[in-house]
């Protein structure tokens, strides 16, 4: 079964019969997926469901044991792995920043690999810092001098630096406090729309997925067990989805009971 949202023409990203085995254990067991350009896709599921592995396959950090991944109709396994990765924005929890590089140099890492001159890299770093509401004076700081929210913004800026069309985010705001996480999720959503990105985000924040995503994919034991608009999945949930929703719904009911 192919899990998708309506696609006009060819999908931007496709996975066909994608399988992955690590350490002799199946991690992904036949992923079929079609994502149109411009979609924001939330990948949810319990720990170990295969969400991060799927992102790593798309980013050519792992090789599938079977199946294909196509970006704009091109099989990524037939291309140079480094070239594929340089054309994709990727951010992880905590930013994954280089500790001995300044903020500006961290943001400019992929442009540096692409041969941009220093002036162009610095200009792009300052442009993205403004977009992400980071003060310009932080450009010369090092990651150890940043707050968690600032580091996450720098990680997102680095992912966007070379103007990718595809953005892969693996719990980029997972370690942040709720207020900071919500503000960054709003900013990401605005940038996703403004820049016409196709974005896949692994998240354990069901509320964020329900509120902001165009499509939700629910993974369980290496398979997609539910897909579609978040409201449709929440309205008629698979048992595994019910388990994922139980905690946030209980929290919401508890908070409602505290409302004066």
- How high is the mean pLDDT in each 10-residue block of the chain (260 residues)? 50 95 93 94 91 95 95 94 92 86 96 95 96 95 94 94 94 80 87 93 83 90 91 79 69 63
pLDDT of residue 58: 96
pLDDT of residue 3: 46
The pairing of strands 215-220 and 223-228 is antiparallel
Please give the model's pTM, rounded to 2 decimal places: 0.88
C-alpha span between 15 and 243 (Å, rounded): 27
**Three-point CA angle 204, 149, 164, nearest 5°:** 75
Of residues 25, 6, 27, 3, the one with CA closest to residue 15: 3
Quickly tell me which residue has 């770093």 as its tokens. 125
């Amino acid at each position: 079964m192919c899990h998708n949202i309506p696609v006009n023409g060819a999908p931007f990203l496709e996975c066909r019969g994608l399988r992955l085995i690590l350490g002799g254990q199946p991690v992904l067991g036949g992923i079929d997926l079609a994502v149109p350009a411009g979609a924001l896709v939330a990948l949810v599921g319990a720990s170990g469901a295969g969400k991060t592995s799927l992102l790593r396959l798309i980013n050519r950090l792992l090789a599938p044991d079977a199946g294909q991944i196509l970006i704009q109709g091109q099989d990524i396994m037939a291309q140079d792995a480094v070239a594929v990765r340089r054309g994709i924005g990727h951010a992880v929890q905590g930013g994954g920043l280089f500790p001995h590089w300044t903020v500006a140099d961290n943001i400019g890492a992929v442009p540096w690999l692409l041969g941009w001159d220093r002036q162009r890299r610095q200009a792009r770093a300052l442009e993205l810092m403004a977009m992400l509401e980071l003060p310009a004076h932080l450009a010369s700081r090092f990651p150890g001098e940043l707050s968690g929210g600032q580091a996450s913004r720098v990680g997102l800026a680095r992912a966007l630096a070379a103007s990718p069309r595809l953005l892969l985010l693996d719990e980029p705001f997972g370690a942040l406090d709720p207020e900071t996480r919500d503000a960054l999720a709003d900013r990401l959503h605005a940038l996703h729309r403004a820049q016409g990105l196709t974005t896949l985000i692994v998240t354990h924040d069901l509320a964020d997925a329900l509120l902001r995503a165009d499509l939700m994919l629910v993974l369980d034991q290496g398979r997609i067990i539910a897909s579609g608009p978040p409201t449709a999945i929440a309205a008629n949930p698979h048992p595994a989805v019910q388990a994922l929703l139980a905690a946030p719904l209980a929290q919401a009911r508890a908070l409602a009971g505290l409302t004066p």
